[in-house]
């Protein structure tokens, strides 16, 4: 067997194992673990989405919270009007997609700090607008969603698989993008935008495409989240942390890689849950500390960290030492 075939086979088998684990998980997990699993899938969808614009194209977007909140409200309002949940989620995704096209056209000519700020402010504007439209959105009192007619466990499984679908599509899109012309173009933009223009990449279209990709799954995840929790309010739905967490996860796992965001989301959730359980009062401070440590010591992510190669070298050294001490036979 050639090396290439073997590595492809290994990749295929690993993917199958992962798929099986994710599909069978609900039958082994209790409700607490199921909730964590659903959150992890939501985080994965968010991180994978941010990776399109932030990882591939290298644009520091802080618009995730805007897409999430808009999706949550669109989905929630539609569902309260009697539209079936899955259809409401899809419509929310579509609305967020259109919104991202318009906003992307408006702000993607900006670079660096200016782009970061512009994308950050969108969530603030939306929050105020939704706060003001009390008739439709409930304003500051929040929006209650009609509960689905299902049992508790059934509902937990339903939302798990819904999030799994959203995250799955985000992952498939990432894998396709990774090998496509679009992905290549975005990587060129990340490296050097002027040079990308010069080799004939239509950067405006490419960047808009990345921005739109980074919005749609987030909008759907927001809509699913709204149905899942049954209640949203503007402060929570447009919380700035929703923009920052996916960035941290993606950096944790490795920006611009296909699977990095998923690993990052998993790792982040484990850290977050540990911190939540043990340091409730100072959890945001501990989260801040994690961010600082990550930026200072692992800026290229866990997977590419020199830490691992250092550990690996240490391991080899120890094996060597043990071998030498063993009497030669």
Partner 1 sequence: MLSLQILINGILLGGLYSCIAVGFSLVWGVLNIINILHGSMMILGAYTAFFAYSQLGIHPFAFIPIAGVVLFIFGYGLQAGIINRVMGAPVLITLTLTFGLNLMLDNAMLVAFKADYRKVTLDPPLGILELGSLLIPIDRLYAMLLALVLVGCLYAILRATKIGRAIVAVRMDRDAAALMGVEVKQIYAVTFATGAFMAGAAGCLMSVIFPISPLTSNAFLGKAFVICVLGGLGSMPGVMIGGILLGLLESFGTLWLGPDFSTTIAFVVLLTLLMFRPTGLLGKRGFE
Among 29, 58, 94, 230, binds partner 1 (CB under 8 A): 58
* Closest separation in Å from C-beta 219 to partner 1: 20
Let me know: does 151 contact 158? Beta carbons within 8 Å: no
Let me know: does 217 contact 190? Beta carbons within 8 Å: no
CA distances from 327 to 261, 272, 318, 324 (A): 47, 48, 16, 7
- Please choose, out of 15-23, 41-49, 167-175, 289-297, the segment that lies near partner 1 by the rule CB under 8 A: 289-297
Binding track over 139-178 against partner 1, x by CB under 8 A:
----------------------------------------
User: Closer CB to partner 1, residue 57 or residue 92?
Assistant: 57
User: Closer CB to partner 1, residue 185 or residue 190?
Assistant: 190
User: Closer CB to partner 1, residue 17 or residue 295?
Assistant: 295
Among 14, 21, 31, 124, binds partner 1 (CB under 8 A): 124
Among 11, 151, 285, 315, binds partner 1 (CB under 8 A): 285
Helix (H, G, I), strand (E, B) or coil at 7: helix
Binding track over 76-115 against partner 1, x by CB under 8 A:
------------------------------xx--xxxxx-
Let me know: does 71 contact 194? Beta carbons within 8 Å: no
- Applying the rule CB under 8 A, the residues between 18 and 57 that interact with partner 1 are 54
166: which residues sit within 8 A by CB, 6+ positions away? Answer: 41, 42, 45, 217, 220, 221, 224
From CA 316, how far away is CA 310, in angstroms rounded? Answer: 10
Among 11, 132, 151, 312, binds partner 1 (CB under 8 A): 132
Among 15, 24, 125, 318, binds partner 1 (CB under 8 A): 125
Q: Percent helix, strand and coil across the chain, each rounded to 5?
A: 80, 0, 20
From CA 116, how far away is CA 53, in angstroms rounded? Answer: 12
* Closest separation in Å from C-beta 52 to partner 1: 14
Contact between 240 and partner 1 per CB under 8 A? yes
Closest alpha carbon to 223 in 279, 168, 162:
162
DSSP β-bridge partners for residue 144: 231
Closest alpha carbon to 213 in 174, 168, 250:
174
* Closest separation in Å from C-beta 71 to partner 1: 20
Among 153, 284, 306, 309, binds partner 1 (CB under 8 A): 284
150: which residues sit within 8 A by CB, 6+ positions away? Answer: 158
From CA 257, how far away is CA 49, in angstroms rounded? Answer: 12
User: Closer CB to partner 1, residue 295 or residue 318?
Assistant: 295
Among 29, 83, 116, 133, binds partner 1 (CB under 8 A): 116
From CA 282, how far away is CA 174, in angstroms rounded? Answer: 35
- Please choose, out of 68-76, 121-129, 191-199, 208-216, the segment that lies near partner 1 by the rule CB under 8 A: 121-129
Among 1, 152, 296, 321, binds partner 1 (CB under 8 A): 296
The secondary structure of residue 56, as a DSSP letter, is I
Let me know: does 234 contact 137? Beta carbons within 8 Å: yes
Residues that bind partner 1 in the complex, under the rule CB under 8 A = 54, 58, 60, 106-107, 110-114, 116-118, 121-122, 124-125, 128-129, 131-132, 240, 244, 247-248, 251, 281-285, 287-292, 294-296, 299
């Amino acid at each position: 067997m050639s090396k290439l075939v073997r590595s492809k086979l290994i990749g295929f088998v690993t993917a199958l194992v992962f798929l099986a684990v994710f599909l069978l998980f609900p039958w082994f997990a209790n409700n607490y673990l199921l909730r964590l699993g659903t959150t992890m899938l939501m985080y994965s969808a968010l991180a994978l989405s941010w990776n399109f614009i932030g990882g591939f194209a290298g644009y520091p977007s802080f618009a995730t919270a805007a897409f999430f909140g808009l999706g949550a409200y669109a989905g929630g309002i539609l569902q309260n009007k009697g539209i079936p949940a899955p259809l409401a989620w899809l419509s929310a995704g579509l609305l967020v997609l259109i919104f991202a096209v318009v906003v992307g056209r408006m702000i993607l000519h900006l670079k660096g700090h200016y782009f970061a700020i512009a994308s950050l402010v969108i969530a603030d504007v939306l929050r105020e607008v939704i706060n003001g439209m009390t008739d439709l959105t409930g304003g500051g009192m929040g929006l209650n969603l009609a509960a689905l007619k299902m049992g508790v466990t059934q509902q937990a499984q339903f939302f798990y698989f819904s999030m799994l679908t959203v995250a799955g599509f985000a992952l498939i899109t990432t894998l396709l993008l990774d090998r496509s012309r679009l992905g290549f173009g975005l990587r060129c933009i990340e490296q050097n935008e002027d040079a990308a223009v010069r080799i004939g990449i239509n950067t405006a279209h490419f960047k808009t495409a990345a921005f739109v990709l980074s919005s749609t799954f987030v909008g759907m995840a927001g809509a699913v989240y709204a149905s899942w929790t049954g209640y949203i309010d503007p402060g929570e739905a447009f919380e700035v942390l929703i923009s920052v967490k996916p960035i941290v996860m993606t950096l944790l796992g490795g920006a611009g890689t296909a699977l990095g965001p998923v690993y990052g989301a998993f790792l982040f959730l484990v850290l977050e849950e540990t911190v939540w359980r043990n340091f409730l009062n100072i959890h945001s401070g501990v989260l801040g500390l994690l961010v600082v440590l990550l930026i200072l010591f692992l800026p290229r992510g866990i997977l590419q960290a020199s830490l691992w190669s250092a550990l690996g070298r240490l391991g080899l050294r120890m094996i060597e030492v043990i071998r030498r001490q063993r009497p030669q036979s």
